[in-house]
Structure 1
């Protein structure tokens, strides 16, 4: 009996702990930045700037969606566990009732003794008091067993309700962030269409202006050189075109070559660097984790997964793994996080450079660690 009593109390304590944990881990629906009303660009340059701006907004929202999805998965698992706990508690109540009946049946060599029977069949006052005390002890013990089991059921039922609410809140958060993501995708598509339209119009305007300018130059040359042939009148234009082409070639030739990154030599960091570097040229796609395309945190997770290290999905969570390092301590393989709150990450490869998936329309590539602006966190995994 004592062991059953102890077991019941332990079960009740464990379920209380579960309820506390589930209730404390309720989802906080943190407010997200409000999206500005779409602007109407008047030039392709303005449209390109809006695409870049909304692209960064989308990267932030996508990273929040990763975190919200992870939270939803955890809350759904907690709800499933709580449902199992409730089922076990309900089974424990049935078992406790059966146990009480068995105890009552077996008391005093199988005879079902009542208080009245104890008084009538006792041969002395002492025997009656002893029998009455025994009956009281049995009743008290039985009531305690039933009470513990029923209390455990109540606690488990509350835990299940709390876990289901937490999962519902997490699902609502995922839906909210996903709606913002869809809105941003729509805005970007609209700006891209505007960019294409404006760019085409600007190219047409530029062509017309160039033709008008060429006609004016030709007319002026013809007026000054009325005695010369049309071929001589056209020569300055050809010379100008040749000069422009030469200047363009010279400018292209003068472009500085990218510095050679230093890669790690061994271990998980080395594997992560090498795997990430092997993804260069693959397109950035929001929410992608490879191997054909990536977003920023997807690339970091993929590279470290190849090294046997399971990182969180979102950039904000990746910015908390491992231990913090300073800029002077950076080593190839360290994770570098940007913006506040964190919404972009890359993998350091040495010489002040990182490999990262920048944004939509771009590809995985090597860049300076200062290209994204101020660094929020630098973390060493392992």
Structure 2
């Protein structure tokens, strides 16, 4: 039977490895400089850019999940280091007792018993001295046993701390490599996006992010956290898209929703897939202002529903934060964070 720790470590490695695989698998797709040399029409070029933008979104989401895993590893390492320090401190408490035992003649039990026999003046006194010696010996043995147990605990805690620190460092190094590879793909995408005409850029942006709508004015705001989150998100319309950004001037999709709900006093993980597991799932027909809305399978995009069939979201590179229709390709479901 596998221990929970073993299962968790395997799941951690799987998430990090999947992120690396996605980055590697995208190498051909996200190298538009070579790919865009082949298209013979602007429509083909736009199609390639749309596909590349979608793949970047998947990679971004996978990096977010890996970041959460590494953050968890780092917390585990810090907790393990704290336990190791506490175990060592508990062991250090015994140091004065061990010195006293070493310096005491009671450690030489046979010599003490002979001395008791030679110095006792009666049988009763000898019995009392021998009983006292037995009690001291028992206390000494108990202390030594406690020290042994404390030392074993300290050694195990330190070994756990070392293993957790090594795992956190390995995860961090792998994540950094994945980020560096993803940044190359982003740079290639952005370079080729810039090569498109203004009309082609607009077409790609609309295909990927949906048609931009006028930010609603005088929209009835729901009470509480939902209303505060909507107001915060709408205030960011026009801000640029940037991977891993969560404000105040740039956002990615889950960065925007976590920023919006943070303004309402609710902390959300910076990951669309992690956010999709929160709250209560609702259908398209049940959507209410303030609900989170999720897209694609697996989940790789999130927006904030503002009502009247509209959402505000940060979609992808070259597409600023905007209000669009919620009815877009890849829609999956909504999530309500509060009743």
Matching residue of 2:300: 343
2:113 paired residue number: 118
Distance 1:101 1:75, change over 3 A: same
Structure 1 residues 69 and 323: alpha-carbon distance in aligned structure 2, compared to 1, 3 A threshold:
same
Matches within 5 A, 1:89-238: 89-102=87-100, 114-122=109-117, 123=120, 124=123, 126-127=127-128, 130-131=131-132, 133-192=134-193, 195=196
Which structure 2 residues correspond to residues 271-310 of structure 1 after superposition, within 5 A? Answer: 271-310=228-267
Deviation at 1:126, TM superposition (A): 4.2
Deviation, 1:103, is 5.7
Q: Distance in 1 between matches of 2:79 and 2:174?
A: 21
Match of 2:204 in 1: none
Look up the match of 2:316: 359
Q: Name which of 326, 334, 339 aligns with 1:378.
A: 334
Whose Rg is larger? 1
Give, in whole Å, the separation in 1 of the partners of 2:136 and 2:227.
74
Counterpart secondary structure, 1:367: strand
Q: Distance in 2 between matches of 1:162 and 1:24?
A: 15
Q: Contact 1:286–1:295 at 8 Å: present in 2 too? A: yes
TM-align CA RMSD:
3.1
CA distance in 2, matches of 1:181, 1:170: 16
Counterparts in 2 of 1:339 and 1:73: CA distance versus 1, 3 Å = same
Report if aligned partners of 1:263, 1:332 keep a CA contact under 8 Å in 2: no
TM-score (norm 2): 0.77
User: Residue by residue, what CA displacement relative to the aligned partner does 1:293-331 show, whole Å, maximum 9, x if unpaired?
Assistant: 221111111111111111111111111222222333321
The alpha carbon displacement at 1:36 in A equals: 5.0
1:217-254 deviation digits (Å, cap 9, x = unpaired): xxxxxxxxxxxxxxxxxxxxxxxxxxxxxxxxxxxxxx
> Which residue of structure 2 lines up, in the alignment, with residue 226 of structure 1?
none
Q: Is the 8 A contact 2:229 2:260 kept in 1?
A: yes
2: CA distance between counterparts of 1:344 and 1:263?
A: 26
Segments of structure 2 that go 5 or more residues without pairing to the other structure are 201-210
Distance of 1:76 and 1:350 partners within structure 2: 39
| Native 8 Å contact 1:288 1:295 kept in 2 | yes
TM-score by length of 1: 0.69
Residues 54 and 187, structure 1, Cα contact 8 Å, conserved in 2: no
| Deviation per residue, 1:188-210 (Å, 9 max, x gap) | 1453365359x8xxxxxxxxxxx
Q: CA deviation at 1:187?
A: 3.1
- Checking the alignment, whether the CA contact within 8 Å between 1:43 and 1:195 is kept in structure 2 is no
Partner of 2:205: none
TM-superposed CA distance for 1:66, in Å, is 2.4
Aligned residues: 302
| Partner Cα separation in structure 2 for residue 322 and residue 184 of structure 1 | 34
> Aligned pair in 2 of structure 1 residues 95, 22: CA closer, same or farther (>3 Å)?
farther
Cα deviation for residue 345 of structure 1 reads 0.3
Unpaired runs of at least 5, structure 1: 1-19, 200-254
